[in-house]
Each structure stands twice: as C-alpha cells, then as structure tokens.
Structure 1
Amino acid sequence: MKHTYIVTGMSCDGCRTKVEKTLNTIEGIEANVTLNPPEAIIQMEKHLPTSQLQEVLAKAGNYTIEMAHSEAKKTEEPQAKSCCNTSNHSHYQNHQNLKPELRSKLVGKYYCPMFCEGDKVYDKAGDCPVCGMDLVTIEANPNDENKSYTDLLKKMKIALLFTVPIFIIAMSDMIPHNPLMHLLDMESWNWVQFMLSLPVVFYAAWMFFERAWKSIISWNLNMFTLIGIGAGVAFLFSVFGLLFPHFFPAEFKTEMGTVHLYFEATTVILTLVLLGQLLEARAHSRTSGAIKELLKLAPTEAILVENGIEKVIAIDAIKKGDILRVKPGDKIPVDGKITEGESSIDESMITGEPIPLDKKKRDAVVAGTINGNKSFLMLAEKVGAETLLSQIVKMVNYASRSRAPIQKLADRISKYFVPIVVAVAVITFLVWAKFGPEENALIYGFINAVAVLIIACPCALGLATPMSVMVGVGKGAQLGVLIKSAEALENMNRVNVLITDKTGTLTEGKPSVEKIQVFNGQEDEVIQAVAAVNQYSEHPLAQAIVHFAKAKNIALVAAENFEAITGKGVMGIVDGKEVFLGNKKLLEDSKVAISSTIEEQVITEQKKGKTVSYIVIDKTVIGFVVITDALKATSINAVQELMQAGVEVAMLTGDNQNTAQAVAETLHLSSFQAGCLPEDKLKVIQKLQAEGKIVAMAGDGINDAPALAQSDVGIAMGTGTDVAIESAKITLVKGDLQGIVKAKKLSEAVMRNIHQNLFFAFLYNVIGIPVAAGVLYPVLGILLSPMIAALAMSFSSVSVITNALRLRNLEL
C-alpha cells in the first residue's frame, strides 16, 4: 500500500535527505521524500500508524509528519523551525487557497517565487538565499499592484537619475575641447562621480551586493555572485584610486595625474542589471495575467435565501448546503446545482466555448461564470478553495513556480559555471598583466577581468526554464488545460503511450438506459428493486437507472446493506430480497449461473457497443439492463491526431469485451483491454513503464485514481471526480480528449522554447567570455569594456524573456 504524507520542518535538500534516510530505516517501508512539495510518499508492506513514523522522525530533528489532506492540517497554521537557518519563518501550503482566518495570519509574509526552499516563508522582505530572487509578499488581496515591480521601478528611476550624469562626465573626453574641463578639473569631476554613484551603489542596486554575499557564504553560487564581484571590484578600485592616488604606478594614471576610475562602469553595469530585473518582474506580471483575470471572475457577494427571505452576504460567508439566488447578469458565486428555474450561462471564461449553455434543474453551475437573462436558485456544493475557479488558480500558481527536470541541468551548470568564470577572470588579469602592452598592462588586465565577470553573468541561464514554464502554464490555462507542475509539462512532450478509460473519457459519461429486459417477474417491480439499490451509488450507470425509473413514475424504496464493489457492480437488500446489478465478474464471484439464452442476448447488445448489466435477485439472473453512452464527438479526431504524432492509444475499461471492442474499432485504437479493475490498470501502466515507455493516463473516475497517480503524466477530465483530478498532473476543464492533443502540442512548444532559451544563454557566454578576455585583440584589436559587457549580458536576458513570451501567441 502507498500513502502520501505532508512533512514540515524541511528547509533545504540536506533536510530532505535526512528525513528520507530516517524514514527508510523503518522496516517494511520505502520512502521517497520531496522538498517541493514537502511530501513523503511511502510504500508499506503493512499499515503503520502516523504516530510511529513521527516517533522515529522526531529523533532526526524538529520535523513533523501527517497524512496528506487531514482536517487538522487545514485548520491549523503549519509552523516549523529550520535546522539550517536562524531566520524566523514558517511553512505554508497553497497560500492562495487557505481559509480566510489562516490566510490573514500569513498576509505580509514573504516567499521565494521559485520555491527553492519548499514552502518556507519569511517575516521580512529580502532575497532568496538559494537563487537570489526577490522574495514575494503574500498579499491580502491578490489583485493588489505588484509591489516588487513598483519597488524596482522606483529604484530604476533613481539609478538612471544618477547614472546618466556619471556617464556624461566619463565620456566627456570624447567631446571636442571637453567643455566640462572649463568648469572643473578632472580630480574634482572624479569626486562628483563618486558622490553621484553612492545612491546607485548603496540604494538602487545594493540588493545585488547582498545577494552576491549570501551566495558566496552559502556557496549557492548564482548570477548575482558575478555581478557583485565584478561591480564591487570596479567600485572599490575607483574609491581607492580616488582617495590614495599616490599608491598607484604611472600606468594606472591619466595625463593629468589622476587614476583611471570606473564609477561610470560600476553604475552603468548595475543600472543595466537593474533594468533586466525590472523587465523580468514585468514579464512575470504579464505571464500571470491569466490568473489575475480568473481571480477577477469571482464575485464578492451573493444572495442567500433563508426561509423565503433574501439577503446579501459576503462570498466567504457561504456554506455548503446554502440556497442562493442568482439574478440575470450576475456572476455565479460558488459551484453547485440549480434547484429551481433555468437559464443560459456563459461559461467561456472556464471552457473557452463562446456559446452560452442552457441549464435547467439539477444541472451543475460553476463559480465565476455569468448568468443570462433569467433568475434561478442554486444549491451551494463547493465553496472557497473547493470551487473549480479556485482550483484553476491553485494549479496554475503551483505549476508556474514548479521546476522542470531540465531545470536541474541549468542549476548544475550554474553551480560549476561561476567558479570557472572567476578562474577565467583571474587568468585574464594575469595574462594581460604579463603579456599586455608595456604601458597600462595592469589596467588592461583589470578592465578585461571585470568584463569577463560581467558578460559571463548567467542571468539568461537562470531565466531560460522558469520563464517558458510560466508562460506555457498560463497559455494552457487559457486553453482549458490545467497543468499542476513543470515536470508534467516536460514529460508530456516525451509521452509515447496514452492509456485511456472509456466511460466519461472517450464517451460522454452521461449514459442513459435504452431498455431493461426482464425474463422472470413483473417489470415494474424489477425496475423498482434495481433503482432502489442504485440510488445510493454516484456511478453514472447507477444514476441512469434511477432516472429511468423516475421517468416511468416508479417510486423509489429503501434498500439495506448497500455495497458498491469497485469495477463490478452494486448489491443490497430490497424487501427482504438480495438484489445484484453488475457485470459478469460480479456474478462469478457470487457463484451465480447465467443461462445460455440470456448470455446470447447480452452478447448481441454488447457487440453493438452497448453496456449491459445483469440483474440478479436471490442468486437468479432474471434480466439485464442495456445502457448506451455515446462517444464524444471529438474522440475520433483526437485519437487520430495523437496516433499520427507517434503516440500509441490504448483503452483500459471495466466494461465487457464486446462493448470495448466496438468502441476500439470505431476509434481505431492501437489496443484495448476489457474487464479491468483498478489494480489491473495500475499493473498495465507499471509493465509499460518497465519497458521504458513514457505513459500518460486519461481518466475521470475514482477507479482511475491509482493509475493516474502511477503514470508519468496523469490526465483527469475536469468533468470527473475530485479524486481523479487530485491524483492527476493535468486536468482538462472540458473533459475532452482534444485537450490532450493541445497539451501535447503545448509541451512540445514549451520544451522547444526552453531549448532555444538555453541556446541563447550559452551562445552569449561562449562568444562573449573569450571576446571579453581579449582573445581577438592581438588579431583584430577588439576589446569589450565592462559597460558593453553589461549591455550584452542584459540583452541575453531580454532575448530569453522575449522568446518565452512568444508562447502567449501560440496557436493550438
């Protein structure tokens, strides 16, 4: 058996490793622990109580372990002390969807948008100690203006205000007759440059030096390491040269006796990097536009109907079971069903379909969609974080900050890249100092070393994957393809086998009873008995039978000892008689014989693609129910497109051989398997994975959940059960296989975009570092100043961002 647990107290990969090793010391279990999300997936030979796991884990450190989705977890603020950091922080899960009282406790906290340390949050603003990104605040209102972008814009304006005059002063030598020299001498202008540089270095761009220092002491080397070293060396050299010019040899001085200073290089470099950060923040804001638009769909108030009296209440006050009035033109407040009235509803924001859908009594309605020109009453069934709209926001937020496996490559490269670049910069300085021009050899060495540090900044490398993932996930949300993680987005590109369920996936999932054939007994009495048992089941086939009975005005009676047997059928006691309704496996398990006459008729119906359930009363087969479930109009085209793309499409269904074969032949599937129980589907997927296949599983029922979780990419129909959606990594809002085609194409486009971004990032470095080091100088006389190097570095980041944003215009 396999269980998923939430682990709190982990703040780094060292913690994760310690927790995993500790859990694996327990006999009979195999644990796999992840930091983001902070989970432990444990395979057990026999069930162990959580208290036993906690007892062992407590000996390793201040860690706690709980079953996932426990009610206690939802109602208490999760907190833990870090074993690696003395900062005051706590941990949280999915802050966008917390209960209002818990969310209010976390408002004002800060977290890393890339979640390098899992779900750790901080009390104060600052930078992520791992990647150096700005910590983002948990806002009281998600629609508030992006504070990070506003702060960066303010700093950018200040940096420009002081950098432009410094640049003009430094470049004045290139102006004929240098008019500035008529006002002050060079030494005085150097002091002016120094004073103007202070606001840039110690305010507008100080965060870059803080990030660089943190990256060095924690040895989480990143792009800010190079920025801090390069700009810091240039600034300190200039300050020292200004204060103590007599320490420098003649080759470091100008004709006027002043030392060559680089305040302009320092400030221009920092301003250009700040511009890159500003563009990144702006791009991040734009890529989350789809989420913000979805959030705007949610109304703030609703009309509650109690005892015939209507009153306006806040959305947060709605409870499950409340009756709500939706007036013409209003947004539907929560998910539920119409209990009185009818209307046409615009669901284009959720499904992408422009034509309003007619809804009547018992039809489902979704939060955020817009009512037409009629009023109706609805029953609130899902509120708060449970609504489809909230789930969309939750999944998109999670996926946009998750890390694709390909990101690990970029991370590994960055880890080794920084020390290599520093070594190249040192070698550059030494070579120029030794073999450079006799005059100013040290200056050449210094300038070229700084240029190497600046142009090698791996900003573009760090942006290559996250930017494409964020834009791709946002695009998917607009298309009704909800992607939970970057890993799922990447794996979808590699999928070569699609396993699909039948009912509700290939078919409409809205079966109807074509006929009930009774061989022994009164037809109405048999229908009443069968409907009595099925009224307690939520299975679509069961509901179809109940509706059939109601349509015939047959009253429902109570049934006792109801039992649903997954993948086989239902049973119960009605008026003292034992009633079964199910497939052949249920009859075999119950040792019920089937006459050849009945079986021949059943096979005839099954060959037509119909689903047939046997009716058994007191161990005797007295008839059968014929149920039809039409194929979705899009299933045939979707299957053909996937197979043309090299994906094998196989169907695993709990239905019988004949019905399954009829559907498989109609859709021209690669293969199919009938009579599958949940564990059968799971085993088929495990077998395919053992053969090296990358398997996607599409399903919509509770019985599909294990297979969805086991597959490389689980794909749930948005029209299916909550369990299936929770187990899957991709959810199709429309519950339509055409969404899989879109997901496949989107994945291919995103991965292609990531590879392009990585190419851009490496291209700049491969070309730029040697040029900055001066390899072209002996032949072509070409050198890069630190300012030009900074411009090239920023341009590489802009190239990556611009390329990623192209995904927003992708046509699928």
Structure 2
Amino acid sequence: MTHIYTVTGMSCNGCRAHVEKMLNSIPEVTHATVDLEKAEATIEMDRHIPLSALQKVLKEDGGGYQIHKHGDKPVEKPEKNEKPKGVGTGVYYCPMHCEGDKTYNKPGDCPVCGMDLVEEVSSWDEDSGTDKNHQKLLNKFWMAVGFTLPIFIIAMSEMIPNNPLYKILDINYWNWIQFVLSIPVVFYATWMFFERAYKSIKTWHLNMFTLIGIGAGVAWIFSVVGLFFPDVFPEQFKTETGTVHVYFEAATVILTLVLLGQVLESRAHNKTNTAVKELLKLAPNKAIRVIDGKEEEVAIEAIKIGDFLRVKPGEKIPVDGKIVNGETSIDEAMITGEPIPVTKIKDDPVHSGTINGKQSFLMEAERIGSDTLLAQIVKMVNNASRSKAPIQKLADKISGYFVPIVILISVITFVIWKIFGPEPSYVYALVNAIAVLIIACPCALGLATPMSVMVGVGKGAKSGILIKNAEALEQLNKINTLIIDKTGTITEGKPSVEKVEAANDEFDTNKVLQYIASINRCSEHPLADATVAYGKSKGINALEVKGFLSVTGKGVTGTINEDQVALGNHNLMESENVTVPETLQNHISEYQKHGKTVPILAVNGKAVGFVVISDKIKDSSKKAIAALQAKGIEIIMLTGDNKDTAKAVADALGLKDFKAEVLPEEKLKEVEALQKQGKIVAMAGDGINDAPALAKSDVGIAMGTGTDVAIESAVITLVKGDLQGIVKAHNLSEKVMTNIKQNLFFALFYNSVGVPIAAGVLFPLFGILLSPMIAALAMSFSSVSVITNALRLKNAKID
C-alpha cells in the first residue's frame, strides 16, 4: 500500500535527504521518497503504519521535522520567547556547518557539535538572533571573568614568598572559597561546554568540546574530590600543609578562555554579515503612495504591486519598480559598488534601498517584500554563508581522526608520566594529560573554512557579486573554460545607433538623422526606438509626418515637408523604385558583413543616406576578456545570432572560439561535451535560452540585468551585469581559497607543535612544561589567528 503525507520543517535538499533516510529506516517501510518542493512524502509500506509512529521517528531526530496527513499543516502555538510573525526569519543553522545546508525551525544546540544555533539575518529585523546570541555569550563571559579572576589571584598567590593571603586564612579555607567561586562558572557560564561534550560522546561525533569537557571536567572533579575527601589521595598529591593540590583555577581559566574564543567567534560571525546589515539599514520602512492624485504615507508592508509611489529628493526607494513620470539620478552603490550616480528616465528600473538624487519622480511598484533585489541579496548571502565548501570536507575528515588520536595521546601521556615522571608523578601525569586535551582543541580547524567563506561571500555582496553557495566560490577558482553568451552579456542586449552617414551634399548628416528620427517616431519597431533615442541625444527636432505606413519586413514610408520618404532595407528600396548607387551599396555592404543592420533613407526616389544600428559591445567586455585570458582561461562565445555578427564581435574582442546560430539545447550540449573532456566549465548568460547551460555548468554566472530564470539557474549573479564582474568573482575566489589554506595551516601548525610540548617532550632536556592554563591560552590564540586572517578578506582588492 502507498500513502502520501505532508512534511514540514524542511528548508533544503539536505533536509529532504535526511527525512527520506529516516523514513526508510522504519522496518515496515518498503520505500519512501520525499519531495522538497511539494513538501510531501510518498511511503510504500507492507502494512499500515500509524501516523504517530512516523511522527515519533522524526521527532526523536530533533531536527524540527513534522509529518501529517496529506494536505494538513500544523497549527503551532508560539513558544514563550518566540518572535511574532513578520519579525526575523525563524530559520537557524549551525555556525560550524556540521550538516552542510541543514537548518532548524527553532533555537537550540547543533545535534552534532553542540554549538548554539544561529538565526539567519532577517530583512525585517535588524536586531538579529546572531546579535542576541553574541550578547548572551558576552554576558556569560563577563560573569565568568568576575568569578574566575579572584580564583586565579588566590591560586597565583602561592608563588608569592610569605603568601599574604595565608596570613588572613589557611590554605584549606582559600580552597573552599575557590570551590564556591567556581560553581557559577562551571554550572552556569560555561555549562554548555559540558553539555556539548556529553552529547558528542553519546553520539560519537567527537569534536573540540569533547576535549574541553574531559580536560576541564577532570581538573574540576579532581579538585572537588581532593577538597571533600583528601584522605583518599596518596601523599604525593598533597601539599606541605596536608591539603590536596586543587586545580579550580586551571578549570575555570580554561573554560573562561574557551568562552572568550566563543565570544570572538560570535563577534566575527556578526562582522561577516556587516555588508548585509548595511544594506538592510538602507531599506526604508515607509513610503508615499499616490492614489487619484492624493499622497498618503504608508508602511512598506502595505504596498502592493501596481501601486504608484512618490519618491522625493534624497529619499530611499521603497520597493523595486520602474519610473513612470520624471527623471533623476540614483546612487546605486549599495548593489553595484559603483560610487557614480546613475541617470534614470521613464521606464527605467529602480531598486529598493537605493538613494534618490535631487529630483522627485513617480514610480510603479513591481516587486515587493521578499521579491525585491535587496531581499534576494539577503537570501543569497544567508544561503551561501550556511553552505559548506568541498574543501571543508578535508577539515571535517581531519577532525574525525584528530579527536580520538588526541584522547589516546592524553592517556599515553598520563601513563608515561606516572611510570617515568618525577614525584609527585600522579600530579605531573594528570596536569600534562589535561594540557594535551586542552591545547589540541580543534576549534581553529573547524573555523578555518566557514570563516573565510562567510567573509568572502559578504565581500562579494558588497561588490555586486551574489554567491549562492560556497561550492561555487571554490569551483570558480578551478575553472579553465568560460562559455559566454553574446547578446546582453558581451553586448548591451539592445539595439543602438552606431553612426549616421549622408550619401551626398544635398542632405547632410544632421538632416538625414532628422528625417530618420521623425518618421521612426510613428513606428513601434525596436530599431525605430533606437534611432529616435539617438536623435534626442543629438538635440534633433522632430518634424511632422503625414501618411505614415509600416511595411512588414521592409520598413516605413511617409511624407515630411512634402517630401516622399522611405526608410528600410533593399526590398523596400526596390518596391519604391529607388536605385542605390554602387559606391553607396559597397559602403553599406561592409557594415552588413560585420553583422550591422543598415536601413537606407530615400527621399523623393533617391537614396540620401543610411543609419548603422548594432548591439553595442559593452565597454567593459574587451578588458574583462583579456584579463581572463591572461589567467589561462579558455573563452568560447556561443550565440543564437548570425555568423557575420558573431564573427564581427569575436574579432573585436580577440576571441578565437565562437559558435553562431546556437539553440538553447545546443548550448547545453556544448557544456556537456566540454565537461566530458575533463574541462571545468563556467557559463555566463542572461536569457531564458541560457538557463539550461547555466544549470548544467560547473559554475553558472548570471547577469543581474537578465531574466529571473537565468538568475535562478545560476550559482553566481553579477548585479551590474558585465563581464568585469567575472574577473572580480574569480579574483575573490582565488583570495578566499588562499585564505582557507592559510587558516588550515595555522590550525594544524598550532596543534602539531602544541600537543608534543603539552605532553612534555621538552621536559627531559629543557625542563619546559605547559600548564593547562597556558595550553588554553595557546588554543584560543590559534582561533584568534584564524578569525583575524579570515577578516582580512574584507579589505582584499578584487578589481
């Protein structure tokens, strides 16, 4: 029998696979498949399984997944501290990326490593869960410092000759004071570390908290037992006064230093979202809506698609849309990284959060809420910062072997010091074994990749490069072949006038342009729009046209100042009995060989001039292609345009490889063919026809000026929409990967050097030992080094 159920709580393909695996683990289930888009599970079973049994399996996992009768959705009551609807994202993830893209629908600890789950940055809530988590950790840290500092002073006073504290109270009382002061540190401020250690051992997902929990826990329990039951210890564990030497200061200082590392990590995690938070601050919360000529101030949430909005000088644009009345200049640096304001006229697009110049205009709302470009930037950055780069698997694999090896080394250290160490050998054995556990903490190793990725993604967003996942960032560094579309990618993607020429002295260039622009005002053809716009830019005054007629596939005719005017191709010239002189025809043919469109202007039966129309190559294309070729990347242009046009563009850009008249499925096949040759292929395009190839390529790069389908199919989007963005993205990829490798070196270097020293290999020759406190400080320093190195990416030059 087969049943279909509704599944909630899934947010990515990783969730889908996880739920599917859990359902298939049920003995009575023959086969289960889960559809993420439909939020459905199709389950084949030998016999009927109660819904409660399925719910129990998912609930025990702790991932927040729920299963219901098909079509039903749960009505959940808000938890005590849950945010109201519309505030925050309500999506949490592990900052250590233990399960890749997996997310949770409520706060808590990661079931793998135990780290506090972090809430995604919200477009509606600047006071994000990340900030609150950081403040919570900071409060605990200062509390831990307040109790740990006096413990440390009491312990270190033993190094002072004629210890003044012992004149006030005996050492035994001071030990009891240390015990009391340590309780808030251990059981409140840093208790989460022991919970995580227990969970890691229980699930056998050994991690840095395993070492911290065992090391600090052993030191604290040893001290408590020594304080309460001193007589159970041999003499070598006792001081001259008969009290057992306690390590409350080692345990609390270690835990406080680890907590400091957590605070620094949390602070760094906040900083990686700075670019997004700065964008969020630019989004206004109110707008002026115009209804029947009357203006009213409304909240952003009240705006609907199709509403007309008034944007006044200096104001932030509330939503995405287009100008319907007026013109202005807009500062779009927040999405393009370019400081120069962009001139906008009627029908030009405008984006939420960008800043209006000195003129007022009326706009029509086209995208609101989560559909705006600003909201998409936030979503992309959040998704990318949660994703795990393939190189992270190396760090994960190292950690998987590293922790049990360190525990084994710690045990061996204890045994060797007990057998061969000086008296009190038990004390030396215990202290050095704890030091090994502490200094080997692999937190820096776990931070190495995600820190660099998160900072790199933030840097990209600020530079107009939107990266959907970390894998794309790594793959981009490896590409050796780049396929680029022509129209809209290399070129502007719209027709523009290249030049106007006169055939004789009777009509000069300006008069030719005036006649062309005038008659084309009556035409709806895209090429006509290009000539009209060109005429306006040259200050040409349009003339009245009578008897206008559009001849499909040929051109237009009409009367201007009693002159019979015809504008079009050779077929129109023939039908109007216009003879084109051979010299003029040769001149026109040269332009046509280069893929240009050349309408001919005839007045009273004579050819008097022509206009050259082309899809202009973007100014940045040639420079960008040269830069990519210098990196050793093979560039291939694929276009659906004709061969003459394709060759002309390829020649202008110095491209040897190009294919013309290519259909969408042929672009896809070209990508597949190159991949079969072992090439790592990136594809850059902007249209619906590019979408299949973008999705199939190793790295799909969409122009932000293109279609939504292309953008959704790609893993990298260039907001500004030119090839120079690919150069920036590739440079960013190189710097991020270099940074990750540096971080892995820092992490492994500290551990490789620190563990043997903590074990005491230098003691026989130099008498050098590392106390657990110094080991904790060194461990924290390795994390700080990784964080600091990753944050350098914020200032990296990628132009």
Shorter-chain TM band: 0.7 to 0.9
Instruction: Select which of 385, 406, 414 maps to 2:399.
Output: 414
Structure 1: gaps (5+ residues): 24-30, 41-49, 65-78, 93-100, 517-522, 535-539, 561-568, 570-580, 582-598, 614-623
**Counterparts of 1:266-305 in structure 2 under 5 Å?**
266-305=251-290
Work out whether residues 8 and 80 of structure 1, in 8 Å CA contact, stay in contact via their aligned partners in 2.
no
Match in the other structure for 1:620: none
Match in the other structure for 1:121: 104
Q: Write out per-residue CA displacement over residues 666-716 of structure 1, whole angstroms, 9 at most, x where no aligned residue.
A: 111241111111111111111111111111111111111111111111111
Distance (whole Å) between structure 1 residues aligned to residue 547 and residue 698 of structure 2? 47
More divergent stretch after superposition (764-773 vs 136-145) = 136-145
Work out whether residues 488 and 686 of structure 2, in 8 Å CA contact, stay in contact via their aligned partners in 1.
yes
More divergent stretch after superposition (13-22 vs 409-418) = 13-22
Q: Does 1:263 align with 2:263?
A: no
Distance (whole Å) between structure 1 residues aligned to residue 226 and residue 360 of structure 2? 79
Match in the other structure for 2:115: 133
TM-score under structure 1 length normalisation: 0.79
Q: Which SS does the other structure have where 2:242 is aligned?
A: coil
Match in the other structure for 1:237: 222
Work out whether residues 603 and 658 of structure 1, in 8 Å CA contact, stay in contact via their aligned partners in 2.
no
Q: Write out per-residue CA displacement over residues 345-381 of structure 1, whole angstroms, 9 at most, x where no aligned residue.
A: 1112222222222211111111111111211111111
Letter in 1 for 2:745: F
Match in the other structure for 1:142: 125
TM-score under structure 2 length normalisation: 0.80
Q: Percent of aligned pairs with the same residue?
A: 62
Distance (whole Å) between structure 2 residues aligned to residue 462 and residue 274 of structure 1? 16
**Counterparts of 1:539-688 in structure 2 under 5 Å?**
605-610=591-596, 627-688=613-674
Q: Provide closer, same or farther for how the CA distance between residues 475 and 32 of structure 1 changes in structure 2, counting only shifts above 3 A.
A: farther
Q: Does 1:496 align with 2:471?
A: no
Letter in 1 for 2:391: I
Work out whether residues 444 and 786 of structure 2, in 8 Å CA contact, stay in contact via their aligned partners in 1.
yes
Q: Write out per-residue CA displacement over residues 373-397 of structure 1, whole angstroms, 9 at most, x where no aligned residue.
A: 2111111111111111111111112
Match in the other structure for 2:744: 758
Letter in 2 for 1:746: L
Work out whether residues 648 and 670 of structure 1, in 8 Å CA contact, stay in contact via their aligned partners in 2.
no
Match in the other structure for 1:430: 415
Letter in 1 for 2:720: K
Distance (whole Å) between structure 2 residues aligned to residue 672 and residue 22 of structure 1? 50
Distance (whole Å) between structure 2 residues aligned to residue 55 and residue 119 of structure 1? 21
Match in the other structure for 2:467: 483
Work out whether residues 7 and 66 of structure 2, in 8 Å CA contact, stay in contact via their aligned partners in 1.
no
Q: Provide closer, same or farther for how the CA distance between residues 514 and 468 of structure 1 changes in structure 2, counting only shifts above 3 A.
A: closer
Q: Does 1:709 align with 2:692?
A: no
Distance (whole Å) between structure 2 residues aligned to residue 727 and residue 421 of structure 1? 45
Match in the other structure for 2:139: 154
Work out whether residues 9 and 80 of structure 1, in 8 Å CA contact, stay in contact via their aligned partners in 2.
no
Work out whether residues 396 and 474 of structure 1, in 8 Å CA contact, stay in contact via their aligned partners in 2.
yes
Letter in 2 for 1:55: T
Match in the other structure for 1:789: 775
Letter in 2 for 1:386: D
Q: Provide closer, same or farther for how the CA distance between residues 489 and 559 of structure 1 changes in structure 2, counting only shifts above 3 A.
A: farther
Instruction: Select which of 55, 58, 68 maps to 1:83.
Output: 58
Q: Which SS does the other structure have where 2:173 is aligned?
A: helix
Q: Write out per-residue CA displacement over residues 190-229 of structure 1, whole angstroms, 9 at most, x where no aligned residue.
A: 1011001011101111111111111111222211111111
Letter in 1 for 2:390: P
Q: Provide closer, same or farther for how the CA distance between residues 164 and 556 of structure 1 changes in structure 2, counting only shifts above 3 A.
A: farther
Letter in 2 for 1:743: A
Match in the other structure for 1:104: 86
Compute the displacement of 1:133 (Å). Answer: 2.1
Q: Write out per-residue CA displacement over residues 240-263 of structure 1, whole angstroms, 9 at most, x where no aligned residue.
A: 111111111111111111111110
Instruction: Select which of 365, 369, 376 maps to 2:350.
Output: 365
Compute the displacement of 1:492 (Å). Answer: 0.9
Q: Which SS does the other structure have where 2:488 is aligned?
A: coil
Distance (whole Å) between structure 1 residues aligned to residue 214 and residue 770 of structure 2? 18
Compute the displacement of 1:110 (Å). Answer: 4.7
Q: Provide closer, same or farther for how the CA distance between residues 399 and 17 of structure 1 changes in structure 2, counting only shifts above 3 A.
A: closer
Q: Write out per-residue CA displacement over residues 574-597 of structure 1, whole angstroms, 9 at most, x where no aligned residue.
A: xxxxxxx9xxxxxxxxxxxxxxxx
Match in the other structure for 1:462: 446
Q: Write out per-residue CA displacement over residues 422-469 of structure 1, whole angstroms, 9 at most, x where no aligned residue.
A: 1111111111111212x2111111111111100010010010011101
Q: Write out per-residue CA displacement over residues 157-180 of structure 1, whole angstroms, 9 at most, x where no aligned residue.
A: 111111111111111121121111
Distance (whole Å) between structure 1 residues aligned to residue 786 and residue 367 of structure 2? 41
Work out whether residues 251 and 441 of structure 1, in 8 Å CA contact, stay in contact via their aligned partners in 2.
yes
Work out whether residues 451 and 789 of structure 1, in 8 Å CA contact, stay in contact via their aligned partners in 2.
yes
Distance (whole Å) between structure 1 residues aligned to residue 366 and residue 549 of structure 2? 26
Match in the other structure for 2:683: 697
Work out whether residues 148 and 181 of structure 2, in 8 Å CA contact, stay in contact via their aligned partners in 1.
yes
Match in the other structure for 1:356: 341
Work out whether residues 303 and 313 of structure 1, in 8 Å CA contact, stay in contact via their aligned partners in 2.
yes
Q: Provide closer, same or farther for how the CA distance between residues 542 and 675 of structure 1 changes in structure 2, counting only shifts above 3 A.
A: farther
Instruction: Select which of 17, 42, 54 maps to 1:55.
Output: 42
Q: Provide closer, same or farther for how the CA distance between residues 416 and 115 of structure 1 changes in structure 2, counting only shifts above 3 A.
A: closer
**Counterparts of 1:161-240 in structure 2 under 5 Å?**
161-240=146-225
Match in the other structure for 2:20: 19
Match in the other structure for 1:508: 492
Distance (whole Å) between structure 2 residues aligned to residue 142 and residue 670 of structure 1? 51
Q: Which SS does the other structure have where 2:109 is aligned?
A: coil
Work out whether residues 14 and 102 of structure 2, in 8 Å CA contact, stay in contact via their aligned partners in 1.
no
Distance (whole Å) between structure 2 residues aligned to residue 14 and residue 315 of structure 1? 33
Work out whether residues 272 and 791 of structure 1, in 8 Å CA contact, stay in contact via their aligned partners in 2.
yes
Match in the other structure for 2:434: 450
Match in the other structure for 1:619: none
Work out whether residues 332 and 354 of structure 2, in 8 Å CA contact, stay in contact via their aligned partners in 1.
yes
Q: Which SS does the other structure have where 2:632 is aligned?
A: coil
Compute the displacement of 1:131 (Å). Answer: 2.8
Match in the other structure for 2:606: none
Compute the displacement of 1:639 (Å). Answer: 0.6
Q: Provide closer, same or farther for how the CA distance between residues 165 and 416 of structure 1 changes in structure 2, counting only shifts above 3 A.
A: same
Distance (whole Å) between structure 1 residues aligned to residue 617 and residue 548 of structure 2? 30
Work out whether residues 299 and 331 of structure 1, in 8 Å CA contact, stay in contact via their aligned partners in 2.
yes
Q: Write out per-residue CA displacement over residues 627-668 of structure 1, whole angstroms, 9 at most, x where no aligned residue.
A: 411111111111111111111111011111111111111111
Compute the displacement of 1:788 (Å). Answer: 0.7
Match in the other structure for 2:603: none
Compute the displacement of 1:481 (Å). Answer: 1.0
Structure 2: gaps (5+ residues): 1-5, 25-31, 68-82, 501-514, 537-541, 554-567, 569-584, 600-609
More divergent stretch after superposition (485-494 vs 131-140) = 131-140
Distance (whole Å) between structure 2 residues aligned to residue 161 and residue 789 of structure 1? 21
Instruction: Select which of 373, 382, 387 maps to 2:367.
Output: 382
Q: Which SS does the other structure have where 1:161 is aligned?
A: helix
Q: Provide closer, same or farther for how the CA distance between residues 234 and 291 of structure 1 changes in structure 2, counting only shifts above 3 A.
A: same
Q: Write out per-residue CA displacement over residues 137-163 of structure 1, whole angstroms, 9 at most, x where no aligned residue.
A: 468753116111111111111111111
Work out whether residues 493 and 747 of structure 1, in 8 Å CA contact, stay in contact via their aligned partners in 2.
yes
The structure that has the greater radius of gyration is: 2
Q: Which SS does the other structure have where 1:328 is aligned?
A: coil
Distance (whole Å) between structure 2 residues aligned to residue 672 and residue 164 of structure 1? 70
